[in-house]
Structure 1
């Protein structure tokens, strides 16, 4: 049931999928016996066995027993030029697998990137009845002449690598929670030059501090921590942060809130001189003052992104805290913020944007505009800024997800008018010569934009932002919508002056 092919000694890159879905069983090209997992594995491992020159391998398979694990390890150990290995283990249930330590022990010294992940497969695929010992033996008989290792009575022989994986810099693993502490530690002891710790999931029997100490001792180049899976314990990340040498961390990515994150800001500030990238999402335990401290003290920061998700805003970055202290992070290239600003109710003279004349501003209006001016001034100092994505929301309406056309940044894209004594702060952003993307700060259908962004403003944009590629004045067309939104003449003029400029709102925030 396998087509013999000659050894592919010149094959350098391969992507292989050896799992099957029963929804395809009626397709005329499907061979029923190939729905047997063991048959597909034998085919794939046979090809790998005779492809020793591979540099890049992506394998999506069901690796849920010792035989399949050892077969893969034996094939990989022969690939002396392998640079990248991605293994996606698709199974019905979480296997008690030794896949990670076995593969790590057998990978060639040439490996640079190793990515081993697990994915649960739905009930419609790979019927469990077809994954029996008899199925495996039948598959061996069918193809053992093609790959003799399949016929070994005492299991597939594998030869562990001598020495460590000195070239390996990226390690992404799952399926660690069934391993013993010694097995987990052995993985990191073989990878002295990895730089990224990504979503490590340990078993409850393992103390995260023991693993953290091993990583610090044996992986001294770790400078990036990533955590964005709700099922993964955050304590390991916190432990690494607490004992990592000061000013070592360069990037921190965390997309899942955790009750153990209350002291996260203070631990990040231990690396204020080295941090260049921070991404935070859904962080209800991160205070507004914590955000402020990062922007004030992390002077090397180039990317800072914090966002809420879903119908409830969990980011609490208040306008007063944003503007209270000058930012030290003046090297920012990418900035993404959600800012809480009290909504100023309309008066008899109309909404705030219609009152942006110094003679008509109330005390509340004036105080708010003072803080907004400070915000725009802070942003205007970021002369390396390339991407700016900001959104306002009203903290007095908790759980309310503000729409683009309901609230915008007053005066941000407006020029001051001496004839009408109208306030405007667009000129404060004249230093953003590298700005390529401006998202969410204003929308053209908003009444304020119609009244406050006119020909002088778009002429200013064309003159002062020469690198601009995207500015979200308009919504993307709705599904089935044939006619685009009509555009005022000033925006048509801007499009004519900057023909490559995109002026639509992206589909997601």
Structure 2
């Protein structure tokens, strides 16, 4: 009878199924245990390549280069990120690999991968047209590629657009494409349409962002590419459901129509920048071409006409058909109530609202969304640096929220004049502070009913005149939401000597994964009123899925490198109880909001 162990190793499909459930780090360790496991799991390991998060070591040594090139045929998802820095150069070397007659990397090409500097790539590793040549030849090796992210691709000539478009058209298995391109202003208007009409028919998600090259870096290039005849695809993209076209260029109405005519199944769309005209006619035409449209976004709300077009589209859609809307740099106009009007048409269907870097929104608009959207799952407001937001605790608890199914909640809140009640006995609170504490407790009770919540991010709104960190008693308050990570005692003592906190209100949030804007570990806390063992025990017992939690930590508790993390005793104990959780520390510098990511992987 064959031993169970031998039988297991003879089932590569089962091994790879189990391997797909492991993190890349754990999978790498597993592959190092035996040659057989290494060979069996190799296709799974190289299926998704992210040169930013998980595969930095692939570009740190020559063996990593060899492995990545040799296993190019296994790659199904390839991601590069603008933050990858030196990894751009590293990957650019790989993209320049020459192939022999058998379409395999040659030994001489592999040995040249560690050239110290790629010509023309000191600041912009994609600045040379040689990159586009290498890109095409290398992606031809990855015949299973279904997802491709390319960022900061530099396009200086129209022939370079054709080279990139031709490369994309040849990836017949491609389903997801994200491009961030920097180009000369004279060719920005042609890039998006050229790329769009070159996409293979299986593409489901397409994102094209085009930015203008900085004048200091732009030069009139000597074109080194032979322009090839570009094959334009005229058939509709029946699989395309998600399309983002964010270009710093005003398109003509007919240009947009010619693209959307090929998107009959579109569900999600970023509203493009369009030459001003008849907004109603444009909205009706878009909805006629894309009858399945359910999700709208606006890349930049500074374009007043594009914002207006988006509002008109929302109003012209069938009632309660909009599922999500997202705005960047939203600034509500005091004289126009377009957001409330357009969203109000879809209260019963709206599942997601994101206002990123919001500069101004009236509290009544926030109330309208929270109090009237019964199926809302995502509600995110982040403040712009020049914001004029004033969303108070009283505004948020004036009525019961319509949805108990929120999964992600990010809110900046004005907590009034309340200073540090999270560390005070109730008897020490003024009448005004007691009233504010009651409102906070009501808000925590509301949050405690959101049993599906996975991401909770609460921040305290502060005006510029309060941010004098050197002398103001509200020091660090903007990073800390009162009572969030402190349990309160029962208020049965007539003298009010109990500890104030609201952590116990969040006991039902069993699905919570990320907690942000959370807690200040300032050293001057009164003894017995700081983050302590019973709070750690509560978090461990009630938030079993927690993956990331945020603290404000004075610099003497953790050095810049993050090596001395053990100075605060109960944070140490928290890390021991939940070793898989990433602990995020904000430094106590008033000018720095940098995050020290200590453990784990971002939820986002």
Give structure 2 stretches of 5+ with no counterpart: 1-71, 80-90, 97-114, 587-592, 596-604
Matches of 1:269 and 1:218 in 2, distance apart?
24
Task: Confirm or deny that 1:263 pairs with 2:338.
Answer: yes
SS in 1 for 2:397: helix
Match of 1:469 in 2: 547
Q: Distance in 1 between matches of 2:370 and 2:395?
A: 10
| Residue 392 (1) aligns with residue 479 (2) | no
Whole-angstrom distance in 2 between the partners of 1:411 and 1:45: 53
- Select 1:317's aligned residue among 391, 405, 414: 391
Structure 1: stretches of 5+ with no match in the other structure: 1-8, 21-25, 141-148, 151-155, 346-350
1:13-412 matches, within 5 Å, as: 30=119, 40=130, 43=133, 47=137, 55-56=145-146, 60-62=153-155, 64-65=157-158, 69=161, 80-95=172-187, 97-123=189-215, 125=217, 127-128=219-220, 130-131=221-222, 135=223, 140=226, 150=228, 156=229, 158=231, 160-161=233-234, 163-175=235-247, 177=249, 179-198=251-270, 200-204=272-276, 206-229=277-300, 232=303, 233-258=306-331, 262-310=337-385, 312-344=386-418, 352-353=421-422, 356-357=425-426, 361-394=429-462, 397=465, 404-405=476-477, 408-412=480-484
Q: Are residues 1:431 and 2:508 paired? A: yes
Deviation readout 1:436-466 (Å, 9 max, x if unpaired): 2222232121645854244433333333333
Change (3 A) 1:353 1:166: closer
Distance 1:321 1:450, change over 3 A: farther
Change in Cα spacing, 1:326 to 1:479, as seen in structure 2 (3 Å) is same
The more displaced of 403-412 and 89-98 is: 403-412
- SS of 1:294's partner is helix
- C-alpha separation between the residues in 2 aligned to 1:93 and 1:335? 39
| CA RMSD of superposed structures (Å) | 4.1
Query: What is residue 144 of structure 1 aligned with on the other side?
Result: none
Tell me how far 1:43 sits from its aligned partner.
Answer: 3.8
Distance 2:290 2:241 in 1: 10
Following superposition, which runs of at least 4 residues in structure 1 exceed 6 angstroms of deviation? 9-20, 26-29, 48-52, 398-402
SS at match of 1:166: coil
Residue by residue, what CA displacement relative to the aligned partner does 1:110-140 show, whole Å, maximum 9, x if unpaired? 2223333323234565631x43xxx56xx54
Alpha-carbon shift at residue 338 of structure 1 (Å): 1.1
User: Comparing 45-54 with 382-391, which one deviates more in the overlay?
Assistant: 45-54
CA contact (8 A) 1:408 1:441 kept: yes
Task: Give the match for residue 146 of structure 1.
Answer: none
SS in 1 for 2:342: helix
Distance 1:474 1:176, change over 3 A: closer
Distance 1:183 1:425, change over 3 A: closer
- Give the distance between the partners of 2:242 and 2:594, measured in 1 at CA: 29
Report if aligned partners of 2:287, 2:317 keep a CA contact under 8 Å in 1: yes
The offset of 1:271, in angstroms, is: 1.9
Distance 1:497 1:288 in 2: 40
How far is 1:424 from its partner?
4.1
Q: What TM-score, normalized to structure 2?
A: 0.65
Distance in 1 of aligned mates of 2:350 and 2:295: 9
Give 1:411 deviation, angstroms. Answer: 4.2
Report the CA distance shift for 1:315/1:503 in structure 2 as closer, same or farther (over 3 A): same
**Aligned partners of 1:314 and 1:405: how far apart in 2?**
18
Is this contact kept in 1: 2:279–2:312, CA < 8 A? yes
1:143 is matched with which residue? none
- C-alpha separation between the residues in 2 aligned to 1:166 and 1:302? 28
Report deviation, 1:170.
Answer: 2.0
SS of the residue corresponding to residue 384 of structure 1 reads: coil
In the TM superposition, what is the alpha-carbon distance from 1:430 to its structure 2 partner?
A: 1.7
Q: Distance in 2 between matches of 1:254 and 1:87?
A: 20
* Residue 458 of structure 1: aligned partner: 536
What's the offset of the Cα at 1:72? 5.4
Q: How many residues align?
A: 464
1:341 to partner: Cα distance: 1.7
Match in the other structure for 2:585: 505
Larger Rg: 1
**Structure 2 residue corresponding to 1:441, chosen from 518, 531, 536:** 518
Q: Distance in 2 between matches of 1:406 and 1:96?
A: 41
Cα distance in 2, alignment partners of residues 313 and 494 from structure 1: 35
- Structure with the larger RCO, 1 or 2 (CA within 8 Å, 6+ apart): 1
